Amino acid sequence: MNLKIEKHALGGYGLGWKDGKAIFVPYAHPGDEVEIRLERERKDVAFASVQSYLMRGEIPPQGLCDAFGPVEACGGCDWQDISYASQLRYKHELLSELFRNAGFEADIKAFVPSPHEFNYRNKAFMPVYESERGLSFGIYKRGSHLVVPHKSCRIHPPIFDTLALRTVQLCHQAGVQPYDENLHTGHLRHIGFRINREENLLLLILVTRTAKLPFWKLLVKKLQEEFPALTGVVQNINRQRGNVILGDEEKLLWGKGYLTDTLAGKQFRIQYNSFWQINTALMELIIEKLRKEMDAQCTLIDAFSGCGSIGISLADKTRQTICIESNPASVLDGEFNALQNGVANIGFVEAPCEDALPALMEDQSLNLKPLNIILDPPRSGLQQPVLDALIASQAEKIFYLSCSPITLVRDLKTLCLDGPYRLVKLQPFDMFPQTWHIECLARLERKA
């Protein structure tokens, strides 16, 4: 059937209606008229795929990735076929509608654009599979585990693809077998990369099913000779079934298992498995905004702190800073980074936030006032013990940095509509150009 796309919906879908039924279509935008095929259908909604474009609401930019769109359907990008200005406008519309429908009268600022529209990702993991040419790599098709190959990805640095291609060539020559997730056999599961913002330090991570990796010494020697920026090769061992990329075991095959990057004028050591925002240049703009809006000489709790990027960058404005992080590797990085940058008024608590934050709020021996709290949780948002601790915290300001508008709205309902805080404003940042994903900083203040 043919369908006119009327608007966008969360998840990167275009949305149209046919006979009163909402139909969600990826790779379609307002103004598009598309021929579709229904893929899944329920009583009131359906999901469809584009078969052809009858009319485009906006002429796509030149130079689209070969692996983009409904035919190849690489899951890395959703909106590469509309202009960057349109991407920002549509994201603002999605955010405004979501908060309005949730009952908020929020002051939603204009999006802060990313300094780089392309090649902005400092980290990537790509699955390995068996093709007609032998070992190959790519990115999963949207909503599946079917690997779509590509020659060059436009949202991460070109060196990632060059190094990946050479790595699978050498592994194929060495007889390394790709992982088969159905049979749970083979060696190589994923190839991963991290790079610093100057792109002169590069990490390679080989995720394997077992500790066995044939001819790894020759592999490392060849890559070391051909890629001068390469500073370390790590083998991560994931023996489990499932879609979790990294396992709990690791072997440092050569060099260092970390790299050093700069943020807000400070140096940070980042282990290959530590959390670090994928768009470093945009993260600097977020830190600038936090610095302007947080209280001077406050106690700052940096929850879900990773390797201390936010807490260390802002510590010079605080009386004391307490970072909460559950990943041991990130805590080690954070403590090292604090020493390296001469930050003395900071401490790290290695524990899940749902355990550490309530304990801090209940500790009568601590002088936390005036208190500001920064939250940067995973996509799943805040657990109930964290929400309860925030409500009981007496914090003057809470800054909630979220990569999931849906869980952000859910948590803000508890803290604001039903709790003691009011939502002062929302500042969205475009952390993920060419995709529908939204990074948003919510500023909360305690009600009078």
Domain boundaries, the chain: 2-57, 101-114+279-446, 123-262
Place of tokens 């009268």: 105
Nearest 5°: the CA angle 257, 253, 329 is 25
Q: Buried b / exposed e across 120-156, counting CB within 10 Å, b at 16+? A: bbbbbbbbbbeeeeebbbbbbebeeeebbbbeebbbb
Read off the tokens for 316. 């010079």
pTM of the model: 0.94
- Does 370 sit behind a cis peptide bond, omega within 30 degrees of 0 on the bond before it? yes
Nearest to 435 by CA among 19, 56, 13: 13
- Per the CB < 8 A criterion, the answer to whether 93 and 411 are in contact is no
Q: Looking at this protein, which amino acid is placed at residue 420? A: P
Q: Please, is 317 exposed, middle or buried when counting C-beta atoms within 10 Å of its C-beta (0-12, 13-18, 19+)?
A: middle
Q: How large a percentage of the chain has pLDDT more than 90?
A: 88
| Candidate CATH numbers 1.10.3720.10, 3.90.320.10, 2.40.50.1070, 1.20.140.10; the one for domain 123-262 | 2.40.50.1070
Q: What is the pLDDT of residue 151?
A: 85
Q: How far apart are CA 131 and CA 153, in angstroms?
A: 19
**Facing residues of 24 across strands?**
15, 47
Read off the tokens for 335. 């403590």
**Each residue's pLDDT expressed in tens, for the chain with a length of 448 residues:** 999 999 999 999 999 999 989 999 999 999 999 999 999 999 899 999 999 999 999 999 998 998 898 887 788 999 999 999 999 999 999 999 999 999 998 889 999 999 999 999 999 999 999 888 788 999 998 878 889 988 899 999 999 999 999 999 999 999 999 999 889 999 999 999 999 999 999 999 999 999 999 999 999 999 999 999 999 999 999 999 988 999 999 999 999 999 999 999 999 999 999 989 999 999 999 999 999 999 999 999 999 999 999 999 999 999 999 999 999 989 999 999 999 999 999 999 999 999 999 999 998 778 889 999 999 999 999 999 999 999 999 899 999 999 999 999 999 999 999 899 999 999 999 999 999 999 999 999 999 8
| 2-57 placed in CATH 2.60.40.740 | no
Nearest to 138 by CA among 159, 157, 165, 120: 165
Nearest 5°: the CA angle 124, 128, 134 is 140
Torsion of CA 434, 290, 381, 181, to 10 degrees: 40
Q: Which strands, in side-by-side order, build the sheet including 439-446?
A: 346-350, 320-325, 299-303, 371-375, 397-402, 439-446, 421-429
| Candidate CATH numbers 3.50.50.60, 3.40.50.150, 3.30.43.10, 1.20.930.40; the one for domain 101-114+279-446 | 3.40.50.150
Q: Please, is 200 exposed, middle or buried when counting C-beta atoms within 10 Å of its C-beta (0-12, 13-18, 19+)?
A: exposed
Sign of the Cα pseudo-torsion (77, 78, 79, 81, in order): positive
User: Which residues have CB under 8 Å from 394's CB, separation 6+?
Assistant: 369, 371, 446
Q: What is the pLDDT of residue 144?
A: 84
Place of tokens 């083998």: 235
Angle between the 353-362 and 384-391 helix axes, to the nearest 10 degrees?
20
Q: What is the pLDDT of residue 364?
A: 76
Q: Output the CA–CA distances (angstroms, integers) from residue 111 to 8, 215, 373, 421, in the order listed.
A: 17, 49, 23, 24
Domain pair 2-57 / 101-114+279-446, same fold: no
What 8-state DSSP symbol labels residue 180? Answer: B
Residue 125's H or E segment, with its range, is strand 123-131
How many angstroms from the chain centroid is the CA of residue 147?
A: 20
Read off the tokens for 324. 């909460």
What 8-state DSSP symbol labels residue 168? Answer: H
Nearest 5°: the CA angle 426, 432, 434 is 120
What 8-state DSSP symbol labels residue 133? Answer: T
| Helical segments of 104-154, H only | none
- Per the CB < 8 A criterion, the answer to whether 151 and 192 are in contact is no
Place of tokens 């510590």: 315
